[in-house]
Amino acid sequence: MDLRAPDYFEQFHCLAGACPHSCCEGWEVEIDGASADFYRALPGPLGECLRAALQTEDGEDYFALTGTGRCPFWDADGLCAIHRALGPEHTGEVCRSHPRFIEDYGPLRETSLCASCPEACRLLLDSTAPLTFPLTQTNEAGEPPDPWLSPLLVWRAKALELLQNRSQPLYFRLGALLTFADAAQALLDEDAAEEIPSLCRDWTGTVLPIPPVGEGLFPEGWALLSGLEILGDDWRTLLRRGGETVPGAVAEPLLERITAYFLFRYALKSINDGDLLGRIQFVLFSTLTVERAASLLPLSEALRLYCREIEHDAENLDALLLAFRTNSAFAPASFLRTLRINILPDI
């Protein structure tokens, strides 16, 4: 099986008790079936505490948070009582894997580190070099590939090449990326994914014509985000101040790395539903939102909050993709207007 992850992946280590924004606070802790069965059978005082904390709703097991919003097994020293007493192998699957997002695409497994984690966020933003995703291999056998996997991998590699061409202003590159996705989407819609490699070979890096009239993504983007499920009051406060935000507060190399982070994580997901264009709109929307939020907050905090609120909530992700498909305020033309208005006014 092929394995791919960002180039800083091996540097990651959980900060545990030193983490400034622990995942043990503010999150309802999901418990996988195997761990729940183990907890229900565990004898002794710890087993009793585990069973008392374990809740079940709609067939899903979880630990309800305490009145102060903490996991009931998060000790005062910032460490996990289950980890300490039973070892890491007996913490829940979500606790063992966080902040890793793992996606299997037949013979390929890709792992990313969600920037909702302060340490993962720091590693992403700790360099201005182009972000890379090294490939390694194991002897593990994977499943047969989806027919779209190979052409979409070719497309994503070309997309990263376009994104990381620093001879062009970043916003021009984002416009080119959107145009490139639009062209590939046309082939997917025609059930001609096998033609995507030829598209990539022949691509000239052009940008769709920028509409002469029409609105950009903001402030409508802030209203869209405000209508989603909100986890934290800090995010709600930021959304209320969305109208005060402005672009241009973040250095282009860091915005490029943030875009590459989202591109790596989401482009291949279009294998599931064919919506490559929508996912690239999500990639660009995420970058542009974080950039604006960083005019009010430190960049690391703006990115962490966005990823916490959006990447861990499937309903929020689905609502954004739906808006990109159905709401003209978030059509590709609005993205191009935003790119032109803020960065390339003379085009």
Q: Give pLDDT, residue 210.
A: 66
**Per-residue CA distances from 91 to 24, 28, 41, 326, 343 (Å):** 12, 14, 15, 41, 47
What pLDDT score does 289 carry?
98
Grouping H, G, I as helix, E, B as strand and the rest as coil, residue 100 is: strand
CA dist 54 and 36 (Å) reads 8
pLDDT band at 347 (very low <50, low <70, confident <90, very high): very low
Read off the pTM: 0.91
315, two tokens: 């309903």
CA distance 297 to 47: 43
Angstrom distance (rounded) from CA 298 to CA 261 = 18
Q: Output the average pLDDT for the chain.
A: 91
Residue 54 phi/psi, 5-degree rounding, is -75, 125
- Name residue, tokens 């999500």: 282
Phi, psi of 109 (to 5 degrees): -120, 125
As a whole number of angstroms, the distance between CA 334 and CA 189 comes to 22
* CA 242 to each of CA 245, 258, 334: distance values in angstroms, whole numbers, following the listed order: 5, 20, 18
Residue 345 in this model has a pLDDT that exceeds 50: no
**Cα–Cα dist 8/51, whole Å:** 38
170-203 burial string, b = 16+ CB within 10 Å, else e?
A: bbbbbbbbbbbbebbbebbeeeebeebeebbeeb
What's CA 221's distance to the chain center, in Å?
17
> Which residue's structure tokens are 């993709």?
321
The pLDDT tens digits for 98-141 are 899 999 999 999 999 999 999 999 999 999 999 999 999 988 88
User: Please, are residues 256 and 290 in contact by the beta-carbon 8 Å criterion?
Assistant: no
Two structure tokens written together for 34: 């195997």
Angle separating helix axes 314-326 and 299-310, nearest 10 degrees: 90
CB 252 within 8 A of CB 294: no
pLDDT at 89 (0 to 100): 85
The tens digit of pLDDT for each residue in 11-51 reads: 999 877 788 888 878 777 889 899 999 999 999 988 899 99
User: pLDDT (tens digit, 9 = 90+) per residue, 180-220?
Assistant: 999 999 999 999 999 999 999 999 877 766 665 667 899 99
Q: What is the pLDDT of residue 344?
A: 45
